[in-house]
Structure 1
Amino acid sequence: MANFEPNAIIRGAQLTVVGTIRALRNAELFKYDHFRQAALAVAVGVIIHVIIQIPIIGLKFIIWIASIFVDMQEATWDDTILNGINYLNKSVLQVPFLLMTLMRYVTPTLDEIFMESIKWVDQTYVQKHKAEDPSTLRAMYYPNLSQYSTKGSSSSSKPIGKSVMLFVQRYGRKVAMLFGVYLLSLLPVVGRFVMPAVSFYTFKQNVGTTPAAVIFGTGLVLPKRFIVTFLHTYFASRSLMRELLEPYFCRVPFTPEQKRRWFKDRQGVLFGFAFAFTVVIKTPFIGVLMYGVAEASTAYLITKITDPPPTPDEGPQFAETQVRWRNKHDFLHLSLENIDRLNLPSHHKGEQTESPGFPGKKFS
């Protein structure tokens, strides 16, 4: 529960707001092809939305015809079918998210937006502290991070076609699982326990027994649509956060085990950060346009939950020092107006903050 406490989630949501505001101040952000491609994705999304609506409208028409000959007042199968299709459309397929994720494998614009935003965060930080002694400021992120190769991650090193196929396979398995859970929840008697049980199992693995038990109990009391919405948002937020952080992880060489521990130690703040963007990206038409803003805001997030990277030759050692978020307690208890305070090496009683394993290197 310590990694998924309410304070961490709230701080993550605050970083969403602050990161977005700072990203939108960067005039260079909107010069990238991403937003032209996003406009194209909007058009494609509209077409897909219309195509998906055709069978829904057709089913409604058939049910309306059937109601002329059969008394539908007592029947529930029609509502079940329509609710199932709507659930598949809105909560399982997630067309906008699918389009923007696929775009990452086709074009590097999201990676470029991330790196441009890292540079902007550094520039903003220097400008904000220009009246202070430069030797007391934190190290910059962009100069060293830009030297890292993007071939370190599996998604970057594989051919585009193979990467896309692997993503489609993962996406297909997730769609099948979510829709399968929904179908099981329709079973008589035991169906009402399916969603709460799935939520308990998922949360027990990721955030611990206590929050899992709370979600399970809530799922037994509230209507099913609430627990469905919550589960979908939770899974979508996790997936979105991993995609947004890909430009960072494709450079810094984390092992799968190190990456797993990195996410676990920060899961509360990451969920709070991704939650708002998940809701916005699901919004018809404007959602895909916000994906680029979300990527730009992630650059600001990185500067709050990691240390400035050293040169690439020290990268493998550096990754292990980042697994644990060392200043988490201090950062989560800062007031919002002092959210940049821990960027200063002199925060702890005037001492320089050094990264374990890198004596003399100042990290935030």
Structure 2
Amino acid sequence: MTCFKPNMSNFDPNAILRGAQLTLVGANRALQNPGLFTTNHYRQAAIAVCAGLAIRIILNVPIYGVKALIWLSSIFVDLDHETWDDTIVNGLDFISKQVLQVPFFLMMVMSSITPTLDNVFMESLRWVDQTYVQKHKSDDPSQLRSMYYPTLKMYSTHGAVEKREQRSFLDGVIVFAAKYGRRAAVSLGIYILTFIPKVGPFVLPAASFYTFNKAVGPVPAGIIFASGLLLPKHYMVTFLQTYFSSRSLMSQLLRPYFDRIRFTKQQKKIWFIDRSGVLFGFSVAFAIMVKVPLLGVLIYGIAEASTAYLITKITEPPPPPGEDNGFIESEVRWKNKHLLLNLPLERLDEFNTKLTGADKATRQADRNASMPGRNFA
């Protein structure tokens, strides 16, 4: 049994920067795919926008009610020289958008109840493979990497996509709302604790240290803890919630991949930690942009399409079903991380292009050494 400890290098600035670069390259690649701009995708996007707007209005009813009460009170009380009304309204907006993450919740609901994003991922993966072959058409075909789309298409989704197809809108909302409700309650509880005299200033720094220590180790967590003691509270809330949003978003964006390549819970946890810096850099910009009213769902679609490109850089092409030979176990740890992080941006398409005989033998040896029976804890 191998003990896994968080490694600071997983979350270093270079890894985060490379993730951000993959965001730009992946989005550019995805937007060049004419297959994304189909009638079906446009129709699904329009439905999602309307549904998201309706849910947002419903969830914001309490805030609208408070604002209405303040407006009515202005008939009897002169609020022109008062600031408490602005403080209440701004506070409610902050809690809605940053503490409870209502706009982000809407995007997560839409991805949980429709199989459209799975289709977007697979279509984009087909386009990534096609573009890869086109860019390397003058190279020796025997030296090119294997394709992702044809093989992943052969894998069963174990009912995950079919379940989303059969799930009603209301059922989807209820299932995800239960998960979101627990997370929102914790966030709101921590935010309320920050108002306790003397103890309050240490609540957010302590929560951030606990979170980051588990994910990336004590050094980054210590830096964030110290920053939390100096920065205003709303900056720390925004930072922490952006981090959590990016993690949740990345998990959702990778669902089409993990629906097919079935890792255990522990394997999946280590898979994410080993790639945490790149995944954060990739997802943080999308996590911010999906909160934009109306346009958020369209940006979500671009993010899913871009994830297809990301997969080809942080994983190896899967073998056909039934021929894994320890593939999943060997994929838990990211063995060629340093190759990707040190590669110049203009040469990203060359990454994992050619494998020498020694490289192939080494990777096969790694797979054989990682056959089922060797657990991470």
- Describe the superposition over 1:72-98 as per-residue Cα deviations: whole angstroms up to 9, x where unpaired: 56xx6x566434421232124434433
From 335, 356, 360, the counterpart of 2:364 = 356
Q: Which residue of 2 aligns with 1:4?
A: 11
- Describe the superposition over 1:140-197 as per-residue Cα deviations: whole angstroms up to 9, x where unpaired: 1111110000017699599736775443221110111111111111222222221111
- Describe the superposition over 1:86-135 as per-residue Cα deviations: whole angstroms up to 9, x where unpaired: 12321244344333333334321110111111111110000000001101
1:32: Cα distance to partner?
5.9
Worse overlay, 117-126 or 159-168: 159-168
Q: Secondary structure at the match of 1:130?
A: coil
1:216: Cα distance to partner?
1.2
Output the CA distance in 1 between the equivalents of 2:194 and 2:157.
Answer: 43
1:245: Cα distance to partner?
0.1
Worse overlay, 159-168 or 315-324: 159-168
Say if 1:309 and 1:242 are closer, same or farther in 2 by CA, change over 3 A: same
Q: Which residue of 2 aligns with 1:17?
A: 24
TM-score norm. by structure 2 comes to 0.85
User: 5 Å matches for 1:126-137?
Assistant: 126-137=133-144
Q: Which residue of 2 aligns with 1:41?
A: 48
Runs (5+) with no aligned partner, structure 2 = 1-7, 369-377
Q: Contact 1:203–1:209 (CA<8 Å) still a contact in 2? A: yes
Q: Which residue of 1 aligns with 2:212?
A: 203
Q: Contact 1:118–1:299 (CA<8 Å) still a contact in 2? A: yes
Q: Which residue of 2 aligns with 1:107?
A: 114
TM-score norm. by structure 1 comes to 0.88
1:62: Cα distance to partner?
5.4
Q: Which residue of 1 aligns with 2:156?
A: 149
2:104 maps to 1:97? yes
Q: Contact 1:23–1:117 (CA<8 Å) still a contact in 2? A: yes
2:189 maps to 1:180? yes
Q: Contact 1:97–1:288 (CA<8 Å) still a contact in 2? A: no
From 128, 147, 150, the counterpart of 1:121 = 128
Output the CA distance in 2 between the equivalents of 1:356 and 1:135.
Answer: 18
Which AA in structure 1 matches 2:347? N
Say if 1:70 and 1:126 are closer, same or farther in 2 by CA, change over 3 A: closer
Q: Which residue of 1 aligns with 2:278?
A: 269
1:228: Cα distance to partner?
0.8
Q: Contact 1:140–1:308 (CA<8 Å) still a contact in 2? A: yes
Say if 1:191 and 1:65 are closer, same or farther in 2 by CA, change over 3 A: farther
From 250, 255, 258, the counterpart of 1:246 = 255
Output the CA distance in 2 between the equivalents of 1:215 and 1:136.
Answer: 45
- Describe the superposition over 1:245-285 as per-residue Cα deviations: whole angstroms up to 9, x where unpaired: 00000001211111111001000000000001011101122
Q: Contact 2:52–2:107 (CA<8 Å) still a contact in 1? A: no
Runs (5+) with no aligned partner, structure 1 = 360-364
Say if 1:279 and 1:105 are closer, same or farther in 2 by CA, change over 3 A: closer
Worse overlay, 211-220 or 307-316: 307-316
Q: Which residue of 2 aligns with 1:362?
A: none
Say if 1:193 and 1:35 are closer, same or farther in 2 by CA, change over 3 A: farther
Worse overlay, 55-64 or 210-219: 55-64
Output the CA distance in 2 between the equivalents of 1:58 and 1:240.
Answer: 34
Q: Which residue of 2 aligns with 1:258?
A: 267
Q: Which residue of 1 aligns with 2:228?
A: 219
Q: Which residue of 2 aligns with 1:298?
A: 307
Q: Secondary structure at the match of 1:312?
A: coil
Output the CA distance in 2 between the equivalents of 1:293 and 1:164.
Answer: 22
2:71 maps to 1:82? no
Worse overlay, 238-247 or 107-116: 107-116
2:328 maps to 1:329? no
2:67 maps to 1:57? yes
Output the CA distance in 1 between the equivalents of 2:80 and 2:295.
Answer: 42
Question: Cα RMSD (Å) of the superposition?
Answer: 2.7
Say if 1:137 and 1:154 are closer, same or farther in 2 by CA, change over 3 A: closer
Q: Contact 1:345–1:351 (CA<8 Å) still a contact in 2? A: no
Worse overlay, 17-26 or 207-216: 207-216
1:316: Cα distance to partner?
7.5
Say if 1:93 and 1:242 are closer, same or farther in 2 by CA, change over 3 A: same
2:291 maps to 1:309? no
Q: Which residue of 1 aligns with 2:34?
A: 27
Output the CA distance in 2 between the equivalents of 1:96 and 1:80.
Answer: 21
Q: Contact 1:155–1:163 (CA<8 Å) still a contact in 2? A: no
1:49: Cα distance to partner?
4.3
- Describe the superposition over 1:40-74 as per-residue Cα deviations: whole angstroms up to 9, x where unpaired: 3323333444452522422432564675499956x
